[in-house]
Amino acid sequence: MNPLLLAGIIQGAGSIIGGISAKNTADLNAFNIETERKLSEAQAKERSRMRIQAYESNLSANMASFAAQGRDISSSMSVKAFLDKQKEVASQDVRAVQNDSFMRSVQYKSQASAERATGRAKMVRSLFDAGSSIVQGRYYAQKTGT
């Protein structure tokens, strides 16, 4: 076999191997990003759960405190307003955590998708580079007549 053609084939094979490696690296990076997304979602659920738990604990303590003061919990407008406000604040906190979690999730999904697309593009480019190297090796082999 002509050494120039053989060199083109070897260079093409190297290009394909590089493209496969780049795609595999991109796939691994995308997997890590997806794992980070799932972790972030789990942490957000835990923060929401803890906030609800804190609200419920505070509600029990406030109810006990009002009862100890002799305040009628069911008919006092100020107590009702206070408890309603506490519930509203807790609900806003939980919604803020959920909204933040959603936005982070979208961001992670976009990053993972972009990483995969980059890997595919590098793989395709390596195929074109390989084809070009082989054609170039054949051209030089024919040009030198060996």
**CB neighbours (10 Å) of residue 59?**
14
Q: Which range of residues forms the domain containing residue 78?
A: 3-144
Could you report the per-residue pLDDT of 21-58, keeping only the tens digit for each?
999 999 999 999 999 999 999 999 999 999 999 999 99
| Gyration radius (Cα) of the chain, Å | 32
Tell me how many domains the chain contains. 1
> Which DSSP letter does residue 66 get?
H
Q: What is the value of pTM for the model shown?
A: 0.78
pLDDT-derived band at 82 (thresholds 50, 70, 90) equals very high
